[in-house]
Chain A
Amino acid sequence: MAHRKKNRNVGIIGVGQTKHSSHREDVNQPEMIHEAVRAALDDSGLKLEDIDCIVHGNMELFEMVFMPDLWHVLGTGAYGKSQFRITTGGTVGATLSCAADNLVASGMYDVVLAIGFEKLQEGHTTGGITNMADPLWFRNLQTGALTGSTAYNIIREFGEERAKKASMLYRVIMDKHAMLNPYAHRAFGLEFDQMDDLIKNSPKLVGDLKLIEMCSQSDGACAVIYASEEKAKKLSQNPVWVRDHVTVHREETFCIFGYDEKYPVTMTHTEAAKRLFERNGITDPVEYFDVFEMYDPASWWAVDWLRDFFLLEGDEHLKLVENREIMIDGKIPINPSGGVIASNPIGATALLRVAEAALQVRGDAGAHQIPREVKHALASGFGGTMWTVLTMLEKELNW
């Protein structure tokens, strides 16, 4: 598949987010969104009238609000403007980014504001997710986004001790990153020497997936402003260029747990990574990228997916974790923001990956800025029954 961008280049010129937290009784939905929108406008130095179009999204059924885009106008600023609503499950934030990028690249709009939000405290996450499954069949069985299957896989392949340690090590590293990010929801101050204790004592959710390893349930919002190359150069000192993005979906059934290697199903992470790297001429992604903001719903999945996204083999992904190469000062820092395990307002989560990646490229991430130059960034989104979005950001317009 050919390079996607045909018409014009697109740059990210503004990023805003709320402090993510377990509950925000002090604001209603549009008010919370407004905080992120205001922050993005302030970050970019733009005024509302500079925005041509707004794309707005979150998870369906999570807050039990119908047409939230309509009554969120008070917070989004869409009054009298074009607005699109996007809702693609867990990937929604990433799809918001893709949509905003497409709307600008196509020439339809010059400046587009993408807004993702969630107030998970207002709804029931798992209850909402069960509704994505076939109502005649799987809805009645489904456990939401929780499954212990990945843990089971890794344990089966690498043995219980190594697997559990890798997962918990990843978890503690994310917490160390979250401690550096003032916007992060959960930052416990975990230490490496607590790992054994946590492996033993953290309550179990499903199989070997423990509460501490699962992403948080957060209230929060994120807003990102995209502009055409011409406008971006005019309006911003340091636009971050959206080089490419790719989306791979798969069917909605859950028939993937046969564990028979002779009959593989489409693994969307690997598929997305292959397509993206191939058409952009990237042969060694671990070398090429300076940071990866990964949608990591749980530490088990994160560890497993490193192999998928970076097209690694054998236990290379485990070694990246075990050697702490994924830490902020490592070879390939993963989620210096603390990632999804730290903050997960779902509709905003995947957009936050792009936003945080952009901040790293700009060098504006503050305390969690990677201590060396960031030129190439990768961000992922994940949702549904293994649906994947990957987005590439660049510092220079030189590809």
Chain B
Amino acid sequence: MMQEFDKNDCFTLNGKLALPYSYFAGRVGSTFITTIRDQKKIMGVRCDTCNKVFIPPRQTCERCFSDIRENWVDLENTGIVTNFTVVRYDDKHLPRKAPFVLALIKLDGADTPFVHILDGIEPEKVEVGMKVEAVFAKETTNTILDIDHFAPVTERVRVIEPSAPVAKQEKKELSKDERDQLERRKAMSHKVIITAALSGAATMKNQNPNVPYTPKEFAEEAAKCYKAGAAMVHVHAREESGMATHEHDKIKATHDAIKDKTPELIVNLSSAVGMGKTPEQRISQIIHVKPEMASLNTNTMNFSIVERKTGKIFLDYVFENTFTMLQDFGRAMEENGVKPEIECYDMGGLDNTLIIMKQGFFTFPINFNFVWGVAGGQSFRPDAFIAMKNALPPNANYTTCGVGTDEFPCITLSCMLGGHMRVGLEDNIRTPKGDLAKGSFELVEWAVRIAEIFGREPATPDEAREIMGIVKR
């Protein structure tokens, strides 16, 4: 006989599960935590096979199963927020009272992000890409909470005003002006800055008769480029013979001629000038002329003339750009209100900048130029480009230029990825069709077409100033 159930018999009982346990961190985990605790230093481990730096550290690489327990790498206490969530409910198991932010933070030097608490900022203001730094706990718990939390580092990336002594404000957040500025920049993301590199130090009239030598020729060519859509011209002044010059007067004459004819244009002067110039010659002209922008080179490198087909060396030259020069030139430019355009001929140059940047004298945004195809630098490869783009510090712009046939592929990729473009006879004397260009302006016209394809508009010089953080003279 089947029994019928009575629902009234059902009830619930409260119970509890309370069990003691312990967790052994092991050698790797203990080293990680005790280093944070005792040295306020965060360490990861590198897998050489996979070329990845992991944090939290682990004994084996999960991908290739290599033993990596000894490959300790010091990481920075700063990093970038790669993602975050706002915890809006309270629970006794949570580390903070709600609301609080849990962020995925990719520490500088690491390849994997890790989770931690982001504090010192209203949850609404947290953004992906923001720079944060570790705040260490006063009392140890021998856990990852020996880093109490991460906090934004806005006070470090403060903009140094180019003129007038900077008041030492301790800013926890961006001012309204700065926030507006960021907003305006964001709104201009469809704008692309086209730079015309009119001459360079080594492109001669016998290669393309349209290379300017005299101030007048520079002024005319610059005006044509502006008309075609360029917002900035990059200039290596020449002597009448066509040789690159470091003489203050000649350079100032060329600069002024361009500005007189087309006052709107941004003039970007070279701090490389040409072969065989001393550091003093290279930077003093910038300080003398004070252009709105100037190139800043990042790496000592071969800068040679070779025949690519045969490998024959025509001229072997070492282009010297030591750390000291990077530091001194950069500081001099910033102090004189000249915005540096940071020239990276390879990833090393970018890394050099990231190191020197720690000194804190660069104003934000930082503007980079990826240069391809110099004999001594790297040739254009899309994956290298993307790697460099990904390695940029936050709040940075990038443009690109390529020597010879690298020119159009590299600017196309840059335009596609949201970067800017530089063309001109300095880099390349021919149009994509193979004809000698009628001038840098014709190459600018091609760049404008590329921008059109990707739905981007050439920025006006004023828009370019806004984007690059340049103060108009």
B-contact 0/1 string along A14-38, CB 8 Å cutoff: 0000000001111110110010000
Stretch in contact with the other chain, from A118-126, A160-168, A345-353, A367-375: A118-126
Contact of A288 with B by CB under 8 A? no
Of the candidates A75, A122, A135, the one whose C-beta lies within 8 Å of that of B24 is A122
Residues A135 and B15 in contact in the complex (CB < 8 Å), given A25-B26, A26-B27, A74-B59: yes
Nearest B residue to A131, CB-CB: B17
Contact A28 B20 (CB under 8 A): no
Rounded to whole angstroms, the CA-CA distance of A131 and B13 in the bound complex is 16
Which residue of chain B has the shortest Cβ distance to A219 in the bound complex?
A: B24
Contact of A48 among B21, B22, B65 (CB under 8 A): B65
Q: Give Cα A188–Cα B277 distance, bound, in whole angstroms.
A: 81
Q: Quick check: is B253 within 8 A (CB to CB) of the other chain?
A: no
Interface SS of chain A: loop
Interface 1/0s, chain B 78-99, versus A by CB < 8 A? 0000000000000000000000
- Complex interface: chain A residues within 8 A of B23 (CB): 28, 63, 122
Q: Within 8 Å of chain B (Cβ to Cβ): is A158?
A: no
| Chain A 25-60 interface residues, beta-carbon cutoff 8 Å to B | 25-28, 30-31, 34, 48
Which residues 11-64 in B have Cβ within 8 Å of A in the complex? 13, 15, 17, 19-29, 58-60, 62-63
User: A74 touching B62 by the CB < 8 A rule?
Assistant: yes
* List of A residues within 8 angstroms of B27 by Cβ: 26-27
Question: A24 and B24 in contact (CB under 8 A), knowing A34-B60, A79-B63?
Answer: yes
Q: Which of B20, B24, B58 contacts A124 (CB 8 A)?
A: B20
Tell me the complex Cα distance, A48–B63, Å: 10
A73 within 8 A of B: yes
Residues of A within 8 A of B15 (CB): 135
Per the 8 Å Cβ criterion, residues 261-276 of B in contact with A are none
Alpha-carbon separation in the docked complex, A63 to B27 (Å): 19
Contact with B along A184-205 (1 / 0, CB 8 A): 0000000000000000000000
Cβ of A265 under 8 Å from chain B: no
Cβ of A127 within 8 Å of any chain B Cβ, yes or no, is yes
Looking at chain A, what size class is its interface with the partner chain?
20 to 34
Which B residues are in CB contact (< 8 Å) with A24?
24, 26
Residues of A close to B20: CB separation below 8 A: 124, 127
Q: Which residue of B lies closest to A119 (CB)?
A: B24
A64 touches B60 (CB 8 A): no
Check B60–A128 contact: CB distance below 8 A.
no
Choice from B25, B29, B62 contacting A79 with Cβ under 8 Å: B62
A365 to B63, CA, bound (A): 32
- What's the minimum C-beta distance from B178 to chain A, rounded to whole angstroms? 42
Q: Is the CB of A28 within 8 A of B21?
A: no
In the assembled complex, A61 has its CB within 8 A of some CB on chain B: yes
The distance from the CB of A69 to the nearest CB of chain B, in whole angstroms, is 13
Q: Which residue of B lies closest to A25 (CB)?
A: B24
> With an 8 A cutoff between CB atoms, is A141 at the interface?
no
Check if A77 is an interface residue, CB within 8 A of chain B. Answer: yes
Closest to B17 in A: A131
Find the B residue at minimum CB distance from A79. Answer: B62
Q: Are A121 and B24 in contact (CB under 8 A)?
A: yes
**Given contacts A27-B27, A74-B58, A74-B60, A121 and B65 within 8 Å (CB-CB):** no
Q: How does the 8 Å CB contact mask read for A77-115 relative to B, with 1 for contact and 0 for none?
A: 101100000000000000000000000000000000000
> How distant is B275 from chain A, measured CB to nearest CB, in Å?
52
A2 part of interface (Cβ distance < 8 Å): no
What's the nearest-Cβ distance from chain B to residue A134, in Å? 11
* In the complex, residue of chain A having the shortest beta-carbon distance to the beta carbon of B61: A74
Given contacts A74-B58, A136-B13, contact A28 B22 (CB under 8 A): no
A142 to B63, CA, bound (A): 44
Most buried by A among B17, B22, B24, B58: B24
Q: Is the CB of A64 within 8 A of B65?
A: no
Closest to B59 in A: A31
19 A-B Cβ contacts within 8 A?
A24-B24, A24-B26, A25-B26, A26-B27, A28-B28, A28-B29, A30-B60, A31-B59, A64-B21, A74-B59, A75-B59, A80-B63, A121-B22, A121-B24, A122-B22, A124-B20, A124-B21, A127-B19, A127-B20
4 extra A-B contacts, CB within 8 A, seeds A26-B26, A127-B19: A28-B29, A79-B63, A123-B22, A131-B17
- Using a CB–CB cutoff of 8 Å, the interface residues on chain B facing chain A are 13, 15, 17, 19-29, 58-60, 62-63, 65
